[in-house]
Amino acid sequence: MIPPHSKKNFITHSRYICTVYMRKTERRNRQSRKQTNTPGKMTGKPIKKIAIFGGTHGNELTGVFLVKHWLQDGAEIQRTGLEVKPFITNPRAVKKCMRYIDCDLNRVFDLENLGKKISEDLPYEVRRAQEINHLFGPKDSKGSYDIIFDLHNTTSNMGCTLILEDSKNDFLIQMFHYIKTSLAPLPCYIYLIEHPSLKYATTRSIAKYPVGIEVGPQPQGVLRADILDQMRKMIKHALDFIHHFNEGKEFPPCTTEAYKIMEKVDFPRNENGEISAIIHPNLQMKPQSQLRGPHSGKTGGRKEPSPFTQMAAYLLWTCMCVEKAVCPCSAPHKAKYIILTSSPKAQDLLLSF
């Protein structure tokens, strides 16, 4: 049962300043350095296997279009020494132009679902998750793909956003900084979904370095040329960074902003658990997260403006899906600024091959 408004949960977002220090080892020391490949630390090993997922949500068409294009002609995503595989993750949902068939594919990559006995009684997306885990994983194993880029759209005006799952992942923080710098003056935001109790079990989480890419605004089931071009550039810059990394290029210290999930705020609901308010038309895509009841005309909610307009708009969801009410990303969110610095060990990170 959907919890009533009185029992609503909260998700807030916090802005982080992440500082990463990296330096390159001398060639004569390369063979003597111990190489590690632990998520959350900078790897000394070259990146080799990369997947680009489109169609995790079947009605988010930019990723679907790009992946299908690259399956026919993948010249632009190839880099020396890299194996780059484009892949349609939820073909049934893509065919029907639906978010999913039985359940959200982007929420079932936990070890419980991945370990279930194969059966026709399982939801389609759980069975598909097991297939994907077999092809690109297994999750949390040394044999899993190095990086998975998972391509998404949103109806909200949040522009280009990179989704990070681990604030200690220095490799991805450095990559995201490179992408942001390369895209400038086009804005690009970083969204950190790390949280002690809110677990997403994303499709990309089977990789050592999972990367979510979200670009909007774009209506569901629609393609926009400008949105497609922005996502295409994000992938290009990401692959360029990986190529430079494998070549041993030195990356200077960097500072970048990120927005971190803290709490979730549900929409106001009536005694039957039904949504009883909508976003005020004067606030749609605006900094404030006030709500107005559809019948009474009354307003409620937070009165102070949110400091992050685009992310707030994204998480307010222009197109609300009632059946997604329990999904961590389907409710309004607040935002605040805080500062995060990387661990002292980051100053001593070495790139070795």
The residues carrying an active-site annotation are 214
Of 337, 282, 329, 279, the C-alpha closest to 308 is 337
Burial class (CB in 10 A: 0-12, 13-18, 19+), 103: middle
Query: Can you tell me the distance from the alpha carbon of 182 to that of 188, in angstroms, rounded to the nearest whole number?
Result: 10
Residue type at position 70: W
Query: Can you tell me the distance from the alpha carbon of 142 to that of 135, in angstroms, rounded to the nearest whole number?
Result: 14
Query: Can you tell me the distance from the alpha carbon of 317 to that of 218, in angstroms, rounded to the nearest whole number?
Result: 12
Q: Three-class SS string for 277-324?
A: CEECCCCCCCCCCCEECCCCCCEECCCCCCCCHHHHHHHHCCCCCHHH
